[in-house]
Structure formats: C-alpha cells, structure tokens
Amino acid sequence: MEKRTNILLQTTIPFVEDDWHIGRFSMLHDHLASITDADGEPQYDVVARNREVNVEGDDVVLSRLDESDFVQLWLFAVDTGGGLSVRDCEGITRFRQRGGGVLSTRDHQDLGISLCSLGGIGAAHYFHSRNPEPDEARRVRDDQDDLDIDYPNYHSGNNGDFQRISAIEPLHDLLLRSSGKPIERFPAHPHEGSVGVPAGDDIARVIATRKSLVTGREFNLIVAFEKSRDRHGNLLGRGIAESSFHHLVDYNWNPDVGCPSFLTDKPGDGYKKNPSDLNDVTEYVTNAARWLSS
C-alpha cells in the first residue's frame, strides 16, 4: 500500500463558535478523507485545526510547517487581520520551497487580509485596504444588498445555490471531470473576494471566471500556480488562490447546517433541490488534492 498523503486544513482564527471555525468545513474534510486509490485504500490523512498560538504569538504548526510531514496546506483565511504572524508566513514559505502544495482562500473586502503578508500566492489575493485590484475601475461595490460590505464583493449568486463558471482555455486539470467534460458548477456566494495573477508572475494563470449577477462584470474565481524555481533554486510546490472560502464551506454545500449569526443573507435552495449538482465541486476538490501533490 502506498503511503497516504498528509493534508492540513487550517483556519487563520482560533476557535470561536459563532465564526468560520474549521468545524464548518467538515464536509470538505470528509470528502477528502473518503477518496480512495484503485485498491480501495484511503489516499489522504486529513488533519483539520484552527489557529493555535504559542507565547510568541506564532501558530504552533504553521510557523514550523516545513518541519512537518504535511504535503498540502489548505488555508482558509477567515480573519480580519493578524491571522498569520511573520514566523507563520516564513514557515509556509519554507514549506512551499520544499515542494509543499498550498490552497489559499478568503472572502469579501478585507476578510482574510492576513494573506497579504504571505509571499507568492498571497500576492494573488486583492483586498480593500491592502493590495487592491490593479484596475482602479474595479474598486467599487458590486453586490449592493449588504451596505456593510465594501469592495471587492462580487455577486455570484445566493449561498446554497450554484454558479455557472467559465473555464478558461486551455482547460486546466483542476476543472476536468472524470467524464472528460469541464466542471461547470461551483457553490455561489453573494459577495466574493478578488484574485488575479501577481504582477511579473509568469507561472500563474486564471483558470476560471464568473459574471456578476448584479453588474454583469466578469471576475476571477481561481488562479493556479504551477511548480517553479525561485531565485534560490528551490522548486516551489503548486498553489491555488480562490476568491472565496464559500466554495468549500459546509453552509454553501448544505445551508441547513447553519452559519455564523453575522451572515444574514437569505440562502437559496438549489443544492437542496438537486444534490447531484454538488458533484462538480467535489470533483474539483478531488482534482485539487491530486494536483497539489503532483
């Protein structure tokens, strides 16, 4: 039996019941843990944890991630600042320098802004207060329903419904169904964040977009980073930057499980009516787990 791949699912906040703690990503955890090889053996050992700091304020795992036996980090930036220390970022950077794969995701405005302190993949995330979208014309509200949320806040649909995404040619392996057809449906969210290819980066590309239901403006959903050599000669692991963690959280796969009290948008019932539509995002998750390690 081949050795299982160790995956870390981690948030950038300590446990708070009424927040996006790691327990709210249980369906993602369970799907990853259910993936088997040709012999029916589990392929992944999946560890899920929230931020936990030492006396210096560093996360006890992320700050030394390169010394661990994890092969992938799926990082859910759900903080509004201070979610990653300098040593955390250094640990993640060293992890990627030794070939570790990283999926990073956030949400609207400044939610997950700690990613700005993370080099490379972090630069693919655009926020309101730091590293804004390069195109100044985009620095305006998209979703108009929640005036407490400022740009970037692209409206792709209601929580609990799916959005129809546009895969960019050439079709990336992440967006290829086992049937050979492209993945078309992703969980929707009324106010997604923003991602793009960092300036001067020639190994990353946008692989999927969506048009806002409010303005009709196209925005980026996923940026994929291929393996590349850094200036020190390290072969960096692959990376993914996503516009919203709502693509992967329990509430958007099944609104009946509930959400933090501060999320007041009325959910849709698209997935409840047609549960099979979730197959696209679970295939994407399966692809991501395989791709990040290859």
Q: Averaged over 129-147, what is the pLDDT?
A: 95
pLDDT of residue 3: 84
> Stretch 80-108: mean pLDDT, rounded?
97
Model confidence band, residue 119 (pLDDT cutoffs 50, 70, 90):
confident
Per residue in 188-241, pLDDT (tens digit) is 999 999 999 999 999 999 999 999 999 999 999 999 999 999 989 999 999 999
20-79: per-residue pLDDT in tens? 999 999 999 999 999 999 999 999 999 999 999 999 999 999 999 999 999 999 999 999
The pLDDT value recorded for residue 35 is 98
- Cα 250 from Cα 267, distance rounded (Å): 13
What tokens appear for 94 in the block? 């060293």
Cα distances from 213 to residues 155, 219, 270, in angstroms, run: 6, 11, 16
Please report, rounded to a whole number, the percentage of residues in the chain having pLDDT higher than 70: 99
Peptide bond into 152 cis (omega under 30): yes
Q: State the pLDDT at residue 248.
A: 98
Q: Please report, rounded to a whole number, the percentage of residues in the chain having pLDDT higher than 90.
A: 96
Q: How far apart are CA 175 and CA 290, in angstroms?
A: 12
Checking if the pLDDT of 109 tops 90, the result is yes
Structural domains of the chain in order of their starting residue, each with its CATH number: 5-293 (3.40.50)
CB atoms within 10 A of CB 136: 8
Distance CA 53, CA 136 (A): 37
1 pLDDT more than 70: no
* Predicted local distance difference test score (pLDDT) of residue 172: 98
Dihedral sign from CA coordinates of 9, 14, 15, 18: negative
By the 10 Å C-beta count (0-12 exposed, 13-18 middle, 19+ buried), 280 is classed as buried
Start-end of H helices in the chain: 26-34, 86-97, 250-253, 270-273, 279-293
Place of tokens 């927040």: 19
| pLDDT at res. 216 | 97
Exposure string over 48-87, b if 16+ CB within 10 A, otherwise e: bbbbeeeeeebbebbbbbbebebbbbbbbbbbeeebbbeb
Average pLDDT value over all residues in the chain? 97
